[in-house]
Copies of this chain bind each other. A is one copy, B any other.
Amino acid sequence: MKEGLKIVLSGPSGSGKGTIVKELIKNEQFLLSISVTTRQPRQGEEEGVHYFFKTKEAFEKMIAQDELLEYACFCDNYYGTPKAFIEESVKKGKDVILEIEVQGAQQIKEIYPDAIFIFVIPPSLAELESRLVGRGTEERNIIDQRLKRAKEELALYTTYDYIVVNDRLVEAIEDINRIVGAEKLRSCHYAAEIEEIIHN
């Protein structure tokens, strides 16, 4: 069986990566890597489905025991990615999606150079602002902080392999499926097939 892909999906807060992930994982080919966080659950968020919610102390213990692929502190909360689940899942042939904050994505590149890095961006800053306001869960000063951060993060686009502009959700999903489909055709995945053809 061919090993699955590791797909890092990242982008500024409000770029809509969460919505994209929710849509993608309706397809059984994909499996979501569940993150650990110290932030408070938003309405409707469930433990073990959206995040593992931990105290700051518990999170820092995971860091100390090297159980995390990456972690980042963002708006005073920790976010991190447990390693074991990812590696077991790709061995089973699943394409694992890692939804990661921009800071964290940079760290993953060093550990998983074969991962595919997709940067989800909003069509404009005005649209980003309206999404953050519409969410209705953040204070105005937090929104301003996120907009400022978004500009800084957008400048990091060259560190990603692909850009997906999340204007219409259905098109963003198509783009990602196209990227994943093409990545599976990379020559590095064809050693077994070529051997088979040459020697039979």
| A residues apposed to B, CB below 8 Å | 119, 121-125, 151, 154-155, 157-165, 175, 178-179, 181-183, 185-190, 193-194, 197-198, 200
Contact = CB atoms under 8 A, between A and B. Distances in A.
A124 B197 contact: yes
Nearest to A185: B162
Contacts of A189: 163
Contacts of A158: 187-188
Nearest to A174: B181
20 contacts: A121-B194, A121-B197, A122-B197, A123-B197, A125-B197, A154-B194, A155-B198, A158-B188, A159-B187, A161-B187, A162-B182, A162-B185, A162-B187, A163-B190, A163-B194, A164-B185, A175-B185, A178-B181, A178-B185, A181-B182
